[in-house]
Amino acid sequence: MSKATTNRRKNFKEPTTAASVTAPIAGKRTRVRKIKKPHDSENGRGAEDIEDLLRFNGDEIAVMRVSLLDWYDRNCRDLPWRRLDSDSSFRCEEKGSSEWKDLGDEDEERRAYGVWVSEVMLQQTRVATVIDYYNRWMDKWPSIHHLSLASLEEVNEMWAGLGYYRRARYLLEGAKKITEEGGSFPRTVSSLRKVPGIGNYTAGAIASIAFKEAVPVVDGNVVRVLSRLKAISANPKDSLMVKKFW
């Protein structure tokens, strides 16, 4: 067990039971609950509000946190956007990668920029495809300042093959906006949302990974996991459903 994992376990009260968290995944028969829709009457279909269904007690939260972080430390992949630079080594267990050490402002902004670029590239694109594009991008524009000096033609040329070119244009527009406003990378979800092309998910990813802001990040995978934990009948591809989970 890694030192990081051991420290995490010390920070949580030992739960009295994990049955209510693990039962749906472990195969125990659990009643699947439906979410109340706008046209449902209060007692008409026996449906429940999602806010009520998604409540977890302290013991459940402790179990999930430790389990998820332990799994990550054992299984996380060595990906370039998880390093500060291409020369740095990466070992999940040794570094306790789910518990990033404190960084200076400059390194935090480098990480924020890398997370931003990777999150945009990974939208509707496989990780294996993105890796080479990400490395080439960061070699050419290693900081938000470098990117802000690029032309749209240069950015589109670098992006060729990834598709959805609007994503590349938003990266360039966002870099120019941040640079024009002083060059300091936004550090909170509320300020990140003001940057062109940065939505709730990307803002949450940047703020939480780079600046340690405790904010939610919800996508189809999160909806699937929470739905299974609470035995909720939910379509993870339904945009309205994803909004409810936020």
Architecture of domain 103-211: Orthogonal Bundle (1.10)
| Residues 233, 35 contacting (CB under 8 angstroms) | yes
Phi first, then psi, for residue 216 (nearest 5°) are -75, 150
What is the Cα 191 distance to its own chain's centre?
17
Cβ neighbours, 10 Å, residue 142: 15
User: Mean pLDDT of all residues in the chain?
Assistant: 79
Q: Which residues fall within 8 angstroms of residue 118, CB to CB, at 6 or more apart? A: 79, 80, 81, 130, 134
Mean pLDDT, residues 148-170: 96
- The region that residue 111 occupies, defined by phi over 0 for left and psi between -120 and 50 for alpha, beta otherwise, is alpha
- Give tens-digit pLDDT for 201-214: 999 999 999 999 99
> Reduced to 3 states, what is the DSSP secondary structure of residue 204?
helix
| Residues 112, 185 contacting (CB under 8 angstroms) | yes
Cβ neighbours, 10 Å, residue 108: 19
- Which pLDDT score is estimated for 105? 73
Question: 103: pLDDT confidence band, cut at 50, 70 and 90?
Answer: low
| Residues 116, 204 contacting (CB under 8 angstroms) | no
Mean pLDDT, residues 211-220: 88
Residue 44 has pLDDT above 60, yes or no: no
Question: 34: pLDDT confidence band, cut at 50, 70 and 90?
Answer: low
Residue 94 has pLDDT above 50, yes or no: no
Q: Which of 94, 109, 119, 153 is catalytic?
A: 119
| Residues 92, 79 contacting (CB under 8 angstroms) | no
Active site residue 181: no
Amino acid identity, position 211? F
List the beta bridge partners of residue 233: 34
Query: Quick one: DSSP state of residue 238?
Result: -
Residue 35 has pLDDT above 80, yes or no: no
Residue 236 has pLDDT above 50, yes or no: yes
Mean pLDDT, residues 102-109: 78
- Which pLDDT score is estimated for 43? 42
Residue 40 has pLDDT above 70, yes or no: no
- Which pLDDT score is estimated for 106? 79
Percent over 90 (pLDDT), the chain: 46
- Domain spans in the chain, listed from the N-terminal domain onward: 3-82+220-233, 103-211
| Residues 138, 86 contacting (CB under 8 angstroms) | yes
What are the start-end ranges of the E strands in the chain?
Answer: 33-34, 232-233
